[in-house]
Structure 1
């Protein structure tokens, strides 16, 4: 898959997933532009390709900046969003709701500037929460804009992502722009911050937290998906989907928080401390995993990284780039702020 001679914009390109995507696009020969306000991203995330990308700093909710960022672009990957882990989206619903304005401004300026292909980073939070109490793999058609009661998204963040999909579909219908939406399921990996589950658990272990705090009873499950697999799905969707069809990017395995904690301490070669299960904390839905049939059929995509492989890469990155004493002293702040 080559993007040679294409001018590609990645919004949120200095962020966790965005920076990995930027690196892959550079490797594939694209001329890459990044637009980011650095509210959660960092220019250090782009260190490996800083001399090969064009960086625009600004707020994409401002029309003039979005218009400037999308001018002269062939392909757009729209990842910019106000987001965080479960604690963040539960405590800052209004912040997350502003994503609806952000998405529409980016899509409208992109279409007006002649962008040919748009890929939107959506979320598993678009799925109805009431069907995630038991282990039932989520299929794309479990969300519907055509049936009464066909949508019941997960908090303001999920509703905003769902409206982003609807908006992009509308731009496709009216203007004919090639479009795709990738529903990302619990991504993790190097460069992610501590407000997200995997990095939060690694940070607590690294800091020697005792008793070790786990939100909920630890038996809630997610399909933790390594960032390289997410990036692969985004690239394939941009290449192969044109009609705004949404597609899942996630593993089909149910992995409990307790399983992750055990795997972290096992890799770090340490005995797990006493556990403090904090059942008063927000934990989201009980079970979540993706049905990847559509991704396999439309993209030829399936995840390649196991939890063990992904955790090893992530733990190695975290311990090499974070000072243990700093993490210990600032743990609570790191866990709750973007």
Structure 2
């Protein structure tokens, strides 16, 4: 881990699933860390391990005065704050996701006004064109283009908002000379994630012994499930090694089907439902998604360290040790589509 001693760092959305893991990494690397979060989806308990070592600002970054205060006297901003959730959330709340465009620009502008030197933006695989994800082809960064006619065709409103965030940060780099980097995050999972995302949803259903066990879609759709600590490593290395807003992918190159994850979850619990019910009426997103990580290897010396089994073991250990099974059972339907 690189030395961040003496660096003043702001992590927006720092109490979130990914954000809190990044905060822990930065504290361990010696940074002076500030968290800005409205706690709409982030949780204070996510920061329990470092709460005495960080500064926490609570407020809404869509409000100029709060964003201005949060970005004052910091060197680097990791911008993770966003209104988002799993596939059910982004399909059902497009207007909420659209507000990310305002959020991003306010953070970038206040950061520029306050002399922030470096901004790293947590983007998404949802920026990639949906029509190239019906068959298995790994997504490379140049498949998104702002120069070529028709070069952008993002995934739902959330994906378009993230794509506009990338373009906006590039513009701030060009106009203000701010060092900038962009990390396109692919299907992160791990401790502290909620049930609106695929792996935690599958774990929660098995933990609650749901039977018939529901799988959204036909189960053959694939994702490149990437463990959270690999994601936070990519974010830090991008901040350290990229300054011209070149985007890099952070995701494994392996295609893993929902059915394969479900089987691995059943094995962990040593349990199998009597029936699996495939819910093809539910939102599932694109058919296949995995990352080409050639650029990440070349520019930030990044390769994921965690395979699915290792990451899944850590994730299920966390989930079963922190969640009450009766409460999960009672709230399961609501948890699957909330933030």
| Short-chain TM bin | over 0.9
Secondary structure at the aligned position of 2:49 is classed as: helix
| Partner in structure 2 of residue 180 of structure 1 | 181
Distance in 2 between the 1:98 and 1:162 partners? 13
Shift of 1:131: 0.2
Matches within 5 A, 1:1-338: 1-338=2-339
Structure 2: 5+ residue runs without aligned partners? none
Shift of 1:248: 0.1
Secondary structure at the aligned position of 1:51 is classed as: helix
Distance in 2 between the 1:184 and 1:78 partners? 13
Shift of 1:226: 0.1
Distance in 2 between the 1:198 and 1:85 partners? 10
Secondary structure at the aligned position of 1:330 is classed as: helix
Following TM superposition, the consecutive aligned residue runs of length 4 or more in structure 1 with deviations greater than 3 angstroms are: none
Shift of 1:93: 0.2
Aligned positions, number: 338
Secondary structure at the aligned position of 2:336 is classed as: helix
Residue pair 1:88, 1:195 contacting (<8 A) in 2 also: yes
Shift of 1:272: 3.9
Which deviates more from structure 2 when the two are superposed, residues 263-272 or residues 241-250?
A: 263-272
Distance in 1 between the 2:156 and 2:222 partners? 18
Per-residue CA deviations over 1:46-73 (Å, capped at 9, x if unaligned) read 0000000000000000000000000000
Shift of 1:270: 1.5
Per-residue CA deviations over 1:233-268 (Å, capped at 9, x if unaligned) read 000000000000000000000000000000011112
Distance in 2 between the 1:210 and 1:275 partners? 7
Residue pair 2:124, 2:159 contacting (<8 A) in 1 also: yes
Residue pair 1:262, 1:272 contacting (<8 A) in 2 also: no
